[in-house]
């Protein structure tokens, strides 16, 4: 058994029985009436895809590289966040919610916050220190306490 997520990652300990339900994650974070752009790669059969169809969202899919890793996604998310912020959001009442903990997003989140947009980040507690620092304690939503809710 691992002591924490870092111990599990370092020792390649994986619980193959746990599967995340991205549809449940979306409903938990956004509720029923949020307007959102959705990026990522939930597995086929996940409730996420039913929710995407039900809400009429257009999904964007990028091919994985030869090592089966996602490419282009982080840059596409950052570009979409910036474009949406300046084209459609009202700084006084709208907010951006990023569900990622990667430090690659720190520059775009910093820029948007410096321009007066409200940006929150939701992720597991092992999110990068850079992204957590930028949004602060009030802008970080820990998914850890809700781990069981996202199972499928």
49-100 residue pLDDT tens = 777 777 776 677 677 777 777 777 888 889 988 998 999 888 988 889 999 9
* 125 confidence band (pLDDT: 50, 70, 90): very high
Q: What CATH number is given to the structural domain containing 42?
A: 3.40.50
27-37 residue pLDDT tens = 888 876 665 66
Residue with tokens 């111990």: 7
Q: How many domains is the chain partitioned into structurally?
A: 1
Does 93 fall in a domain? yes
* 104 confidence band (pLDDT: 50, 70, 90): very high
Does 33 fall in a domain? yes
pTM of the model: 0.78
Long-range contacts of 138-147 (CB under 8 A, 24+ apart): 141/29, 141/97, 143/25, 146/28
CA dihedral 42, 45, 50, 51 (to 10 degrees): -30
Does 127 fall in a domain? yes
Full residue range of the structural domain in which residue 110 is found: 19-150
């Amino acid at each position: 058994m691992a002591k924490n997520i870092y111990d599990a990652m370092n020792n390649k300990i994986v619980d193959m029985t746990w599967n995340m339900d991205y549809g449940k994650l979306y409903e938990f974070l956004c509720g029923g009436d949020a307007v959102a752009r959705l990026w990522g790669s939930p597995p086929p059969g996940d409730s996420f895809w039913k929710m995407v169809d039900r809400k009429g969202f257009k999904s964007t899919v990028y091919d994985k590289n030869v090592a089966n890793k996602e490419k282009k996604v982080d840059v596409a998310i950052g570009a979409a966040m910036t474009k949406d912020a300046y084209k459609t959001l009202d700084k006084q009442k709208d907010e951006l919610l990023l569900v990622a903990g990667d430090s690659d997003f720190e520059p775009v989140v910093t820029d948007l916050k410096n321009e007066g947009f409200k940006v929150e980040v939701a992720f597991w507690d092992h999110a990068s220190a850079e992204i957590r620092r930028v949004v602060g304690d009030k802008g970080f939503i820990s998914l850890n306490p809700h781990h069981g809710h996202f199972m499928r």
